[in-house]
Amino acid sequence: MNLFEHPAHELLDLLKAQKTSAQAIFESVFSHLKQSDKNIKAFVRLSHQLPDFGPAVPSRNYPIPIALKDNICVEGQEVTCCSHILEGFKPPYDATVTQKLKKSGALILGNTNMDEFAFGSSTENSYYGPTRNPWDTACVPGGSSGGSAAAVAAHEAVWALGSDTGGSIRQPAAFCGVVGVKPTYGRVSRYGLIAFASSLDQIGPITKDVTDAALLLNIIAGYDERDSTSVNVPVPDYTKALINDAKGLKIGIPKEYFIEGMDPEVKQSILEAIDVLKKKGAAFKEISLPHTEYAVATYYIIATAEASSNLARYDGVQYGLRLQPQETRKSAIVDMYEETRDQGFGPEAKRRIMLGTYSLSSGYYDAYYLRGQKVRTLIKDDFDQAFKNCDAILTPTAPTTAFRIGEKANDPLSMYLSDIYTISANLAGVPAMSLPCGFSKNGLPIGLQIITQSFAEEMMFRIAYTYEQNTDWHKRKVGQK
Partner 1 sequence: MITQKDVKYIASLSRINLKEQEVGRLTKNLEAILHYIEKLKKVDVSQVQPTSHVFPLNNVFREDVVQPSLHQDKAIKISQNHHQGSFKVPKVIE
Contact between 14 and partner 1 by CB under 8 A: the answer reads no
Instruction: In whole angstroms, give the CA distance from residue 79 to residue 66.
Output: 16
Least distance (Å) between residue 179 CB and partner 1: 24
Q: Which of 104, 144, 163, 308 is catalytic?
A: 144
Is 230 annotated as catalytic?
Answer: no
- Of 19 and 329, the one with the shorter C-beta distance to partner 1 is 329
Which residues on neighbouring strands pair with residue 436, listed in sequence order? 447
- Of 106 and 307, the one with the shorter C-beta distance to partner 1 is 307
The whole-angstrom distance between residue 58's C-alpha and the CA centroid of its chain comes to 31
Least distance (Å) between residue 368 CB and partner 1: 7
Contact between 119 and partner 1 by CB under 8 A: the answer reads no
- Residue of 210, 15, 29, 11 lying closest to 110 (CA atoms): 29
Is 69 annotated as catalytic?
Answer: yes
Q: Which stretch binds partner 1 (CB under 8 A): 49-57, 248-256, 334-342, 386-394?
A: 334-342
Contact between 351 and partner 1 by CB under 8 A: the answer reads yes
Contact between 235 and partner 1 by CB under 8 A: the answer reads no
- Residue of 320, 332, 297 lying closest to 420 (CA atoms): 297
Contact 272, 438 (CB under 8 A): yes
Contact between 81 and partner 1 by CB under 8 A: the answer reads no
- Of 273 and 301, the one with the shorter C-beta distance to partner 1 is 301
Instruction: In whole angstroms, give the CA distance from residue 434 to residue 162.
Output: 13
Contact 112, 122 (CB under 8 A): no
Three-class DSSP category at 36: helix
- DSSP for 188-200 reads B--TTBPPS-TTT
**Options 354, 389, 404, 475; binder of partner 1; rule CB under 8 A:** 354
Q: Which stretch binds partner 1 (CB under 8 A): 121-129, 161-169, 234-242, 335-343?
A: 335-343
Q: Which of 168, 189, 269, 308 is catalytic?
A: 168
The whole-angstrom distance between residue 133's C-alpha and the CA centroid of its chain comes to 15
N-terminal to C-terminal alpha carbon distance within the chain: 16
Three-class DSSP category at 346: coil
Write the interaction track for partner 1 spanning residues 287-316; mark x where CB under 8 A is met and - where it is not: ----x-xx-xxx-xx------x---x--x-
Scanning residues 447 to 466, which ones bind partner 1 (CB under 8 A)? 454
Contact between 265 and partner 1 by CB under 8 A: the answer reads no
Strand 107-112 with 65-69, pairing: parallel
Q: Which stretch binds partner 1 (CB under 8 A): 149-157, 247-255, 268-276, 349-357?
A: 349-357
Is 240 annotated as catalytic?
Answer: no
Contact between 476 and partner 1 by CB under 8 A: the answer reads no
Contact between 332 and partner 1 by CB under 8 A: the answer reads yes
- Report phi then psi at 234, rounded to 5: -60, 150
* Amino acid symbol at 362: S
Scanning residues 184 to 203, which ones bind partner 1 (CB under 8 A)? 185-186, 199
**Options 335, 365, 443, 459; binder of partner 1; rule CB under 8 A:** 335
Q: Which stretch binds partner 1 (CB under 8 A): 140-148, 165-173, 223-231, 251-259?
A: 223-231
CA atoms within 13 A on the CB side of 251: 27
What kind and span of H or E run contains 373?
helix 371-386
Contact 369, 311 (CB under 8 A): no
Contact between 256 and partner 1 by CB under 8 A: the answer reads no
Least distance (Å) between residue 202 CB and partner 1: 11
Least distance (Å) between residue 293 CB and partner 1: 7
Bond before 104 cis per omega within 30 degrees: no
Sign of the CA dihedral running 236, 237, 242, 245: negative
**Options 172, 254, 372, 399; binder of partner 1; rule CB under 8 A:** 372
Three-class DSSP category at 180: strand
Least distance (Å) between residue 58 CB and partner 1: 24
- Of 132 and 376, the one with the shorter C-beta distance to partner 1 is 376
Least distance (Å) between residue 85 CB and partner 1: 11
Instruction: In whole angstroms, give the CA distance from residue 183 to residue 456.
Output: 9
Contact between 428 and partner 1 by CB under 8 A: the answer reads yes
Q: Which of 28, 36, 41, 69 is catalytic?
A: 69
E strand spans, 283-391: 283-287
Contact between 357 and partner 1 by CB under 8 A: the answer reads yes
Contact between 93 and partner 1 by CB under 8 A: the answer reads yes
Contact between 71 and partner 1 by CB under 8 A: the answer reads no
Q: Which residues of 317-327 are buried (b: 16+ CB within 10 A; e: fewer)?
A: eebbbebeeee
Sheet holding 107-112, edge to edge: 43-46, 107-112, 65-69, 159-164, 202-207, 179-182, 432-439, 445-451, 392-396, 250-254, 283-287
Total site size for partner 1, rule CB under 8 A: 69
Instruction: In whole angstroms, give the CA distance from residue 225 to residue 219.
Output: 17
Q: Which residues bind partner 1 (CB under 8 A)?
A: 88-93, 185-186, 199, 225, 228-229, 231, 291, 293-294, 296-298, 300-301, 308, 312, 315, 317-319, 322, 324-325, 329, 331-339, 341-342, 345, 347, 350-351, 353-355, 357-358, 361, 368, 370-378, 380, 412-413, 416, 428-429, 454
Residues marked as catalytic: 69, 144, 168
